Amino acid sequence: MPDVTAGATVKLGPGTLKIGATGSAIDVSCLVNNAQVKTDRSQDDPTWHLCGTATQAPVTYAHTLEGNLDIDPTEATGLFALSWDQMGSEQDYEFTPNTEEGTAATGTLIIDPLDFGADEYGKTLNSDFAFVLTAAPTFTRTVVP
């Protein structure tokens, strides 16, 4: 078994986030203010039977890629345009929170329109996002020496 340091931590950044088909993906890494792959667990109540036994309901998981980013509304081929022109479409993604540490999450997400505006005068236009993942992400781990 490899020697692993218990409690080893990794910081956010510098990293990458790419959305779109491989080879033509939009690199939005320099727009991202924060991002996380999140998982929501749900389970219905058990079914009780007359004899007193219960059948547990299955556990299901839903995954999202969530965060906040500065938008790029002037870019005809940017993420903002993609989010409005192809809303509801499935898009490939690759998210690497820290390129030095190397662990990446990949898969397919469903893109939703990004917000257009800012919270106050003079601030950078930005949007929160929560893109539904079509399946659990595939993690690629790089072993750091």
Q: Does any domain span residue 10?
A: no
Radius of gyration over every alpha carbon of the chain, rounded to an integer in angstroms: 19
Averaged pLDDT of the chain: 92
CB 107 within 8 A of CB 95: no
Quick: pLDDT tens for 33-57: 999 999 999 999 999 999 999 999 9
Quick: pLDDT tens for 100-143: 888 999 999 999 999 999 989 999 999 999 999 999 999 998 76
Q: Does any domain span residue 35?
A: yes
Q: Does any domain span residue 110?
A: yes
Q: Does any domain span residue 99?
A: yes
Six-digit token string for 54: 């219960």
Q: Does any domain span residue 116?
A: yes
Residue 28 Cα distances to 43, 45, 51, 120, angstroms: 35, 41, 57, 23
- The domain tally of the chain equals 1
Q: pTM for the complete prediction?
A: 0.84
Place of tokens 């993420």: 79
- What domain range is 111 assigned to? 16-41+58-140
Q: Does any domain span residue 97?
A: yes
Contacts for 80 with CB less than 8 Å, ≥ 6 apart: 71, 72, 73, 114, 116
